[in-house]
Chain A
Amino acid sequence: MAVPRKSEVIGSTGESAPEDDSDEALVARAVGFGDTDSFGILVDRYQSRVRAYLRQMTREPAAADDMAQETFIRAWTKMDTFSGKGSFSSWLMAIAHNQFLQTVRQSQRQRRLVERLEAEARVSEALSGKSASPSPSELPDLPRLLAILSGPERSVMLLGYGFGYSHGEIADITGLALGTVKSHIHRGKARIRETFRLEELDNA
């Protein structure tokens, strides 16, 4: 990304690092002048999204917040690689997603996560009676929905339904092919439809 001169960046806004500056202007300041205040505004702007995503993926708030911190530190060190072609939000979420995958691989948390999710699935099954399918009038909450999904399904559906990213953006964030993203969403929906009979809610 071409880094404008400081006078150009500041001149465009009249002040240094105002809260309502565009992401691109803040990134330019952070890259060009090592302006941590500008980066602080970006942290403020996107911390909810990154932390919420990682919390839902890990189901461990403390571990998720550690990962979120690492995500922002990594974003700071890699800031000059932000091309500006896509949104800063997608770029940041891609770092968060990779941070999650890397942490899971390194710490073998995946095994514990799977166990936890399996346990949650058993609990939700027990709560809803012998059958895994609740009555149509029963609206499942997010943890129960996520518990029946595979890792990739959980990831793409969270990014799509939870944070409003398009299929193309999800492909960029996760590094999956567009067709793979669509098939994960399709399979996830089919699993949810089958397990919770969600569509029947409309007719109930």
Chain B
Amino acid sequence: MHEHGQDSLDMQLGSIFRQGVGQPHDDAFRIAVCRRIRRRSKIRRIVLATAIAIGGLIALSPAYQLALALSDGLAQLSSVFNGVDWSRQGQALYMVTIIALLTPLVTMILEE
């Protein structure tokens, strides 16, 4: 502690505390911490990739339908919207949203 006005008691306490705190140090500790961190990173990557894959699969069909409908051209815009089954699209988007919201939670639980 480097403060102004240190007295002899400060010096004595500094000596006692510095000698007493010890210096626990070993490679096993660092290895354990790094192993846990790598494991967490791995789990995070796997969960993220899985969520993206599932979300992509679910979204594939409606996205394909939407792309087909849009390909009819802007000139037939009104017919495009009539051709899309919005109840199905909405359901799929709802699922994707839920997965996106749940992914961080699942990741956190798995990491713990």
Residues of chain A touching chain B, judged by Cβ–Cβ distance below 8 Å, are 34, 36, 39-40, 43-44, 47-48, 51-53, 55-56, 61, 65, 68-69, 72-73, 76-77, 139-143, 145, 157-158, 160-167, 189, 192-193, 198-199, 201-202
- Besides A72-B33, A157-B17, A162-B21, 13 other CB < 8 A contacts? A44-B30, A52-B24, A55-B22, A140-B16, A158-B21, A161-B14, A161-B18, A162-B20, A163-B21, A164-B1, A165-B1, A166-B3, A199-B8
Is B82 an interface residue, CB under 8 A from the partner? no
- CB atoms of A158 and B17 under 8 A apart: yes
Q: Contacting A166 at CB < 8 Å: which of B2, B25, B32?
A: B2
Residues of chain B touching chain A, judged by Cβ–Cβ distance below 8 Å, are 1-3, 8-10, 12-14, 16-25, 29-30, 32-34, 36-38, 40-41
Give the complex CA separation of A88 and B70 in angstroms: 54
Q: Which residues of B contact A73 (CB under 8 A)?
A: 33, 36-37, 40
- CB atoms of A69 and B36 under 8 A apart: yes
- CB atoms of A162 and B18 under 8 A apart: yes
- CB atoms of A166 and B34 under 8 A apart: no
- CB atoms of A142 and B2 under 8 A apart: no
Chain B nearest Cβ from A82, distance in angstroms: 16
Q: Contacting A43 at CB < 8 Å: which of B17, B29, B41?
A: B29
Give the complex CA separation of A73 and B22 in angstroms: 23
Q: Which residues of A contact B34 (CB under 8 A)?
A: 36, 39-40, 43
Q: Which residues of B contact A39 (CB under 8 A)?
A: 34, 37
Chain A nearest Cβ from B84, distance in angstroms: 41
Give the complex CA separation of A192 and B10 in angstroms: 11
Of all chain B residues, which has the CB nearest A193?
A: B9
- CB atoms of B13 and A48 under 8 A apart: no
- CB atoms of B25 and A142 under 8 A apart: no
Q: Which residues of A contact B38 (CB under 8 A)?
A: 36
Of all chain B residues, which has the CB nearest A165?
A: B1
Give the complex CA separation of A56 and B34 in angstroms: 24
Q: Contacting A161 at CB < 8 Å: which of B17, B29, B36, B37?
A: B17
Q: Can you list 12 A-B pairs, Cβ within 8 angstroms, ordered by A? A: A40-B33, A51-B24, A51-B29, A55-B22, A68-B29, A69-B32, A145-B17, A157-B13, A158-B21, A164-B2, A189-B9, A199-B9
